[in-house]
Chain A
C-alpha cells in the first residue's frame, strides 16, 4: 500500500523499464568499440585426456582470421600458477579452469582454442576448421557412480562449524527407532540456468596494464578482483561494466573460462575482442545446478510430532574445483525435531564446475525435506499443513536463538485460503474434473536473510538532482528501482530527481548480486548515505545560517532549487550557493550489519507455495492449474518488482518440478540436451497466473528498512509443492525430478 509521498512499498515502475522495452538498454554483447574483433571458442570432444595435437592451420588461413589461440601458443597468464587454494573463492577449493594453460582435458566441450576474426561469421566458420587429436583417458560422468564416491568437502574438514560439515542435534539417525518412520531417496538432475541473455564479454586492453571488460557478471568487483589477479594487475587498473544483465540466476556468480579466453585473445590481437557463448555452450561452460542425490529419514509420534530427521545429500562437482551449497541447511532449523542430523558430500566427476542456481542448495534440499514432510503426513493420515503446524518452531532450534521475525503461520493461512486448501482430500486420487485428476500440494521455503557490508556514493548536483552510484549489478530484480525508492524516501525527494547508477566497478563498493542480499545490504547503505548527505548539507548551510545550524537532520527539506527547513520555510540555502562553497555535495558512506543483532537473532525469509495440479491418468501429462506463493520477506520495497520476483521464481519451480533436466550420455561424457528444443523450460502455457501474497511486516533486526530478501525463496519449495500435489492427485510419489509423463503412466 502506498503511503502519501512514500515510494517504498509502492509499485513504482522500473526506472529502466522504458530502456529495456525499447531496446535502448545496452547489454554486454551490444557494446561496439572501434576495431572490434570476435572470438569463437572451440570445445573439446572428449571428457578426459590430453590434447595430442591441435591443427589450426586451416583456421589460420581462413578469411578474416586474426589469431587462433590454444595451449600451444597461449601467452603465460601470470595468475595461472599451479592449482592450489584460491583464497578469493571461499567456498570453492581447487581453482577455476585455467584456460589454454595446459594440454589437459577435464570435461567435454572444455574450451581448447579460441578463434578471433574480424567478423563473427568468419570466426565461427574458422572455428569449425580447428581439429584436435587426443590421448583419451577413461572418464567418469555418472552420478550413479559419483554417489558412491562422495566425500566430505575440504571446507567442512577445516571448519566443523561450516554449513556443509556434518551436524548432529540430539542423537544421529534416531529416526530408525521412531514410532512412525520413513526413509526416502530423492534425486534432482543437473539443471541449467539458461537465462535469456547468453553469456558474453568484450575484453579491451586500453593499455598494456589497463583492462576494461564489458561483461555479463553478477558482481563487477568480484570479476575485477579475479581478472586483476589473473593478470597481476592492481585492481584499479581493471574496469568492469555490467549495466544491464539479461537474467543470470546464478551463472554469472563465478568467473569462467570464456572470460579468461577473451582477455587472452584481446591481448594477442591487440584489439577489443567480443565473445558470446552459443546456447549449447551455456550448458557446458558457465555452471549449472548440480545433479544431487538425497536421503531423508524421518520419524514421528502417531499424533504428528516429529522425533527425528536425518538428511543426507551428495552433489556433483568437477574434478578441479570443489563446489558446495547449503542443501541440508533448512532441515536443521525448519521444524522442532529434537534429533536432527545432516551429512553433506560432494562427488568429483569429469564435468565442468557447477554454480549456484536460483534458490541454490536450499531449493534442492527443500525438494527432499518438503516431499518427506508430505510423505510423513500421509503416513500419519494428517493434513500436511496441520502436520507442519504441529512441528512449528518459535525459535531457531539449530542456533538456539529467537527469530529476528517469522510470519510463516500468516503465510500458511493466506495461502490455504487463496488456493482453496479445504477442497484437498486426504486420500489421493479423490478429486476429478472430467478425465483429469486434481490434487493439491504445498512446500515451504526458507533462506537466510543475509546482509553484508556495502558503500554508497551520493552527490547533490547543482540542478537539485541527486546522483547515487554503486558497483552493484541489477540482474533483473529491479535493484536500480528499489534503490531509487529508498533514496527518494530518505531524502524526501521525488524519484525523478534521483539518478541511481549501477553496474560499474568504479562506483562505490557493493557485494555481488546474489543470495537475496542486495536490498538488505545496499539498501541501508543508500539510506545512510542519503541521511549523511542531508546532514552534511545542513552543516554546510549552518555555517552562514543559524536556523540550519540549530536544526536537526530530519528537518532538512529539499525544495525546488534550495534547501529549506520543515516548519521554517523562510530558511533557505540554494544548491548553487552550497555547492559553490565547497563543491562538495558529495558523500560516501560504508554501511555494515549490526554485530549485536546478528549475535542475538536468527534471520530468515520464508515462503510457502501451494499448487493445484491436473493430471491426465492416461497420458501422464501434468498441468499446474493454480499456484499461490506467499512470502514473509520483511518490508516489501516495491510490490511490483517483488511480485515479479515471486512469479519468476514460481515459474522456475514449475520447470524444476516438471521438465528441466540436462542429460549426459556417460559413454561419451557429453550432454544430449544442449539446446532449448531439448532442454525444456516452461512456456507461457505451463504457467498459470501466479497468485502472490506478501506478509509485508518489517524485520526489526536485519536492517533499518526491515527487508529480508525475496529472490531465492521465490523458487525454494515450489518443486515439492507440485510433486506433493501430483501425489495427492494420483497416489504416485515421484522422488526423481522432473515429473515427466513417462513417470506417471
Chain B
C-alpha cells in the first residue's frame, strides 16, 4: 500500500473541494472496495477524504420518491421498513450482494461506484486498459468467463459487479450529486458508462463530484419482484449473471414491467425493449421466453463466456417466473 494523507471533513463543501482540487484524492466511505484496491496496488490515491462525518445517512420520503442517503449502509437500507414496503426489489438485490459483514460497512454511494472484479484489472502484472490505459485488455483474449456480452469495446470487456445497481437502474432511480460546479441529478442509467475508448472512466461523474443520495420513485412494483442471481455458490460470490424483474400485474396480465441484467456489461443493463414487449401480455412462461429473446438482441460472447448467451435469458425467465409467482 502507498503512503497517503487522510482527512475527515465534517462539511460537505470541504470534502468536495479537497477532491476537486487534488487529482490524486479519493473519497472513502465504507472502504470495502477502495482499501482492497489500494492493498493490491491497483489504486494509489495520495489523499483519502473520509466522508463518514457528512450527514448523508438518512432514508426519507421526498415527494413521490424514497431518498436514500449516500452513506446509508447497505444493511440499513435492506432492513428499512419503508424500503421493504415500497421497493422490495432493491432489498433483494442488496441482500444478494457480498456478505452480511460487508453490507454492514458498504454504503449506498460506494456500492454504485465499486469497480470491476476483472482479474486483469486486479493484477498489476497483467495488461488492463482500465487500470493502466494503453496496456491492452488482458481479458479480450484471456480468461473471459465472467465478462461482458453487451456494450463492450475492444479496449475493455469488464462488467460492473454491483447487485444493488441492477435494481436501481430497473427502478428508474436518480442519483443526486454535488460538485465544484453545484448540484445535479443524474438518471441512474446515465451514471455508469460504456467503456468505449476510455475504459478508465467507469462513470459520468466529474472530478470532485460527490454522490449525496439516490431517489427511488414510488411505483407499483411492491409485490411481483425478483432479483435472481446465478453464481458459483449459494451465497457470497459475484454473479455469473443476474436479472432484476418487477411486474405490475392485473390478474395474469402484465400492466408494466421493469427489467435489467447484471454482470453482462460495463454498466447495469436495463432492458427497455423487453419491458415494452411484455406490456399487455399474459404472465406465462411463453411470454417470458419471448421477452428474454428480445432482451438478448445484440449480445455477443467471447471464448469463455459463451454460456452467458444461454444463462442470461434463462436467468431472466427464472426471475420473471419467480416475480409472477411472488
Q: Which residues of chain B come closer than 8 Å to A682, judged between CB atoms?
A: 233
B173 to chain A, nearest CB (A): 26
The verdict on B235 contacting chain A, using a C-beta distance below 8 Å, is yes
Q: Which residues of A contact B315 (CB under 8 A)?
A: 618-619
Q: Does B8 contact A (CB under 8 A)?
A: no
Q: Mark A609-637, 1 if CB is under 8 A from B, else 0.
A: 00000001011110100000000000000
Chain A residues, Cβ within 8 Å of B236: 683, 685
- Among candidates A45, A665, A674, A738, residue contacting B143 with C-beta atoms closer than 8 Å: A665
**Listed stretches A2-10, A121-129, A359-367, A378-386; interface member:** A121-129
Residues of A within 8 Å of B232, CB to CB, are 658-659, 680, 738, 740-741
Interface residue B138 (Cβ < 8 Å from any Cβ of A):
yes
| CB-defined contacts of B230 to chain A, threshold 8 Å | 619-621, 741
Rounded to whole angstroms, the CA-CA distance of A372 and B223 in the bound complex is 47
Whole-angstrom distance between the alpha carbons of A738 and B238 in the complex? 17
| CA of A45 to CA of B307, assembled, Å | 31
Which of B1, B3, B240 touches A741 (beta carbons < 8 Å)?
B240
**Max count, chain A CB within 10 A of own CB: residue among B41, B123, B240, B310:** B123
Within 8 A of A (CB), among B97-133: 117, 119-120, 122-123, 125-126
Q: Are B126 and A668 in contact (CB under 8 A)?
A: yes
Contact of A686 among B141, B234, B311 (CB under 8 A): B234
Confirm or deny: A435 has a beta carbon within 8 angstroms of a beta carbon on chain B. yes
Least Cβ–Cβ distance between A253 and chain B, in angstroms: 27
Q: Which of A128, A619, A663, A738 contacts B314 (CB 8 A)?
A: A619
Cβ B3 vs Cβ A125 within 8 A? yes
**B233 adjacent to A674 (CB under 8 Å):** no
A121 to B119, CA, bound (A): 24
Give the CA-CA distance A683 to B98 in the complex, in Å.
12
A576 on the B face (CB < 8 A): no
Q: Does B317 contact A (CB under 8 A)?
A: yes
Closest to B41 in A: A128
- Would you call A683 and B311 a contact (CB within 8 A)? no
We find that the number of chain B residues with CB closer than 8 angstroms to chain A is 34
Q: Contact flags (1/0) for B210-249 with A, using CB distance below 8 Å? A: 0000000000000000001010111111101000000000
Please give me the residue from chain A that is nearest to B237 by CB atom: A680
**Interface membership of B134, Cβ < 8 A:** no
A738 to chain B: which residues have CB within 8 Å? 232
Whether A672 sits at the interface, judged by CB under 8 Å, is yes
Cβ of B142 within 8 Å of any chain A Cβ, yes or no, is: yes
**Smallest distance from the beta carbon of A408 to chain B beta carbons, Å?**
32
Which of chain A's residues has its CB closest to B315's CB? A619
Does B2 count as interface, using CB distance less than 8 angstroms?
A: yes
Closest chain B CB from A677 CB (angstroms):
6
The reply on A539 being an interface residue by CB < 8 A is: no
> Inside 8 A of A124's CB, which chain B residues have their CB?
1
| Nearest Cβ on chain B to A743's Cβ, whole angstroms | 8
Interface Cβ pair total, 8 Å cutoff: 89
Q: Residues 236-268 of chain B: 1 if any A CB is under 8 Å from the residue's CB, otherwise 0? A: 111010000000000000000000000000000
Q: Is B281 an interface residue (CB 8 A)?
A: no
Assuming the contacts A435-B321, A672-B142, asked whether A745 and B310 have C-beta atoms less than 8 A apart, the reply is: yes
A91 at the binding interface (Cβ < 8 Å): no
Residues of the A chain whose Cβ atoms lie less than 8 Å from the Cβ of B307:
741-742, 745
Q: Which residues of B contact A674 (CB under 8 A)?
A: 119, 123
Name the interface residues of A179-209: CB closer than 8 Å to any CB of B. Answer: none
Q: Mark B1-16, 1 if CB is under 8 A from A, else 0.
A: 1110000000000000
The smallest beta-carbon distance between B37 and chain A, in angstroms, is 12
Q: Name the residue in A45, A621, A672 with the highest tally of chain B Cβ atoms < 10 Å from its Cβ.
A: A672
Alpha-carbon distance A667/B3, docked complex (angstroms): 33
Kindly list chain A residues whose C-beta atoms are within 8 Å of the C-beta of B240.
740-742
Q: Which of B143, B234, B238 contacts A672 (CB 8 A)?
A: B143
In the complex, the answer to whether A685 meets B1 with C-beta atoms within 8 Å is no
Query: Nearest chain B CB to A261's CB is how many angstroms away?
Result: 19
- Contact between chains at A663 and B143 (CB < 8 Å): yes
- Shortest beta-carbon distance, A436 to chain B, in Å? 11
Report if B162 contacts A (CB, 8 A). no
The residue on A at minimum CB distance from B3 is A125
Q: Which residues of A lie under 8 Å from residue B76 when comparing CB positions?
A: none
Q: B189 an interface residue at 8 Å Cβ cutoff?
A: no
State whether the Cβ of A96 lies closer than 8 Å to any Cβ in chain B.
no
Q: Is A673 an interface residue (CB 8 A)?
A: yes
Q: Is A254 an interface residue (CB 8 A)?
A: no
Answer yes or no: A678 CB below 8 A from chain B CBs: yes
Q: Is the CB of A45 within 8 A of B125?
A: yes
Tell me if B318 counts as interface (CB < 8 A to partner A).
yes
Which of A619, A659, A675 lies in contact with B311, CB distance below 8 A?
A619
Distance A619 CA – B292 CA, assembled complex (angstroms): 13
Interface residues of A in 656-698 (CB under 8 A from B): 658-659, 663, 665, 667-668, 670, 672-675, 677-678, 680, 682-686
The chain B residue sitting closest to A681, CB to CB, is B233
Q: Which residue of A lies closest to B98 (CB)?
A: A677
CB-CB nearest in chain B for A740: B232
Contact A685 B233 (CB under 8 A): yes
A309 to B103, alpha carbons, bound, how many Å?
52
The answer to whether A672 and B233 touch (CB under 8 A), given A745-B307, A745-B314, is: no
- Tell whether, in the assembled complex, residue A670 and residue B125 are in contact, meaning their CB atoms are under 8 Å apart: yes
Encode B153-182 as 1/0 by CB contact (under 8 A) with A: 000000000000000000000000000000
A619-B318 in contact given A670-B125, A673-B119, A683-B233 (Cβ < 8 Å)? yes
Given A683-B233, A685-B233, A745-B310, CB of A672 within 8 Å of CB of B123? yes
- A-contact 0/1 string along B292-326, CB 8 Å cutoff: 00000000000000010011001101100100000
Inter-chain CA distance A388–B233, complex, in Å, is: 31
Q: A121-B1, A667-B141 are in contact. Are A658 and B233 (CB under 8 A)?
A: yes
Cα separation A685 to B95 with both chains bound (whole Å):
14
Across-interface contacts of B321 in A (CB, < 8 A): 435
Complex contacts, A125 vs chain B, CB 8 Å: 1-3
Given A125-B1, A618-B317, A665-B143, answer yes or no on A685-B311 (Cβ-Cβ < 8 Å). no
Contact B142 A667 (CB under 8 A): yes
Give which listed residue, B3, B123, B317, contacts A670 with CB less than 8 A. Answer: B123
The reply to whether A677 and B117 form a contact with Cβ atoms under 8 Å apart is: yes
In whole angstroms, what is the CA distance A435 to B320 when docked? 13
Known: A125-B3, A683-B234, A686-B233. A745 touches B123 (CB 8 A): no
With A128-B2, A672-B142, A683-B235 known, 20 other A-B pairs at CB within 8 A are A121-B1, A435-B318, A435-B321, A618-B315, A619-B318, A620-B311, A658-B233, A659-B232, A659-B233, A665-B143, A672-B120, A677-B237, A683-B233, A683-B234, A685-B235, A686-B233, A686-B234, A686-B235, A742-B311, A745-B311
- 12 pairs, CB–CB < 8 Å, chain A vs chain B: A128-B41, A619-B230, A665-B138, A665-B142, A667-B142, A672-B123, A677-B237, A682-B233, A683-B234, A685-B234, A686-B235, A741-B311
9 closest Cβ pairs, A-B complex: A742-B307, A685-B234, A45-B125, A672-B119, A685-B235, A618-B314, A619-B230, A665-B142, A686-B234
Q: Which A residues are within 8 Å of any B CB, using their own CB?
A: 45, 121, 124-125, 128, 435, 616, 618-621, 623, 658-659, 663, 665, 667-668, 670, 672-675, 677-678, 680, 682-686, 738, 740-742, 745
